[in-house]
Amino acid sequence: MEFPEPHIHLPRGPHTHTVILLHGRGSNGPEFAEELFSSITSKGHNLASCLPNWRWVFPTARNCWSDRFQEELCAWFDAYSLDDIHERQELQTAGLRESVTHILGILHHEIGILDGKTDHIYLGGISQGMATALWTLFCATNQIHQPLGGFVGFCGWLPFARQVEELVQSSQESRAIDALSEQPIQRSVASFFLNTIFGSEASQTKETIDTLILSTPVFLSHGTDDDWVSVDLGRQAARVLQHIKIPVQWHEFTGAEGDGHWVKEPEGFDQILHFLEACSSHT
C-alpha cells in the first residue's frame, strides 16, 4: 500500500519557506491541517496567515495494524503503549523504517522545489508525528548535509529514548578512559538510529554520516496536563537532544484543548510563530 499524497496548503505570495508537519496516530494530513489552522495566535491569525509566503505540507501515514487495539489505524508506526513507550518496542521498527523513508523523500522533494535551500525547510509534528519526525532528522544524517531551518514538535516523545540515554552515558564514560577512540556522540547516536531501523543497509553508509543537520534548531512544547502523552516523555526527548548538543527550546503549558494534547492558544502558537520567524530571519 502506497502512502497517500500529502495535503498541501499553498503560500499566498512568493514561496520562500516550507514546513512539513506530521499528524498523530488516528488522524491524517488534511485533518491535522484543519485543526492547526483553526488555532490562532494572540494576533488573531493562524500560522499560515502570519507566514503568507510559506508552503505547508501535511503528509498522511498509511493504515497499519495495531497490536494493542487489534485493528488498523492511520499511524506512522505501531506504538504498543504510551504509558511505557519501551514496551514491545520491536513492533515500532518496521513502521518507522517505512515512514522515515517516506518523509525523507518528501524532504528531498521540498528542498528541490526551493532550489536546494535546505535552511528554508522546517520539519516537525504532533504526538506520534513528532516521534517520527525526530527519527527522520537523525536518519537524514547520511543524506542531507546541511541544517534544516528548524524543527517544531509538540505533545510527543522520542522512541528508543532509553537506549539513546544509555548510549550517551556509555560514550561519556568511554571518552573519560580513552578520548581518542570514541566517536563524537552525535555520530554514535545517528548510527544507532540508522542501524535500528535499516540494519545492514545502514552499516554500509556509516562512513557517509554527516552530523551537520543535527545543528538544526529545535522547538519542543508539551502540556503538563496532557492525558494522552505524558509530559515526562516530552521532557525526556528534550533532555536526550540536549545531551547530544542539539540546540533545543523547551516550553510547557497547561489548559490546552483535547485533554491537554494540543498547543495552548494563543500563547503556545505565539511561541511557535516567534521560533519560526526568528529562525527564518537568519536565512
Residue 177 confidence (pLDDT): 41
Please check whether residue 196 lies inside any domain of the structure: yes
Q: How far is 145 from 209, CA to CA, in rounded Å?
A: 9
Please check whether residue 89 lies inside any domain of the structure: yes
pLDDT tens-digit readout, 156-175: 999 999 999 999 888 776 66
Per residue of the chain (283 residues), give pLDDT as tens.
799 999 999 999 999 999 999 999 999 999 999 999 999 999 999 999 999 999 999 999 999 877 666 678 899 998 755 666 666 667 778 999 999 999 999 999 999 999 999 999 999 999 999 999 999 999 999 899 999 999 999 999 999 999 999 998 887 766 654 443 334 889 989 999 999 998 866 655 556 789 999 999 999 999 999 999 999 999 999 999 999 999 999 999 999 999 999 999 999 999 999 999 999 998 7
Please check whether residue 125 lies inside any domain of the structure: yes
Range of the domain at 276: 7-281
Residue 2: DSSP 8-state:
P
Please check whether residue 2 lies inside any domain of the structure: no
Sequence-distant (6+) residues with CB within 8 A of 43 are 50
Single pTM value for the model:
0.93
Residue 85 confidence (pLDDT): 61
C-alpha cell at 97: 523504517
Please check whether residue 1 lies inside any domain of the structure: no
Residue 4: DSSP 8-state:
P
Q: In Å, what is the CA distance from 68 to each residue of 83, 167, 187?
A: 12, 29, 34
Bridge partners (DSSP) listed for residue 7: 58
Residue 6 confidence (pLDDT): 99
User: Per the structure, how many domains does the chain have?
Assistant: 1
Nearest C-alpha neighbor of 191 from the set 208, 175, 177: 208
C-alpha cell at 279: 529562525
Which domain CATH number covers 73?
Answer: 3.40.50.1820
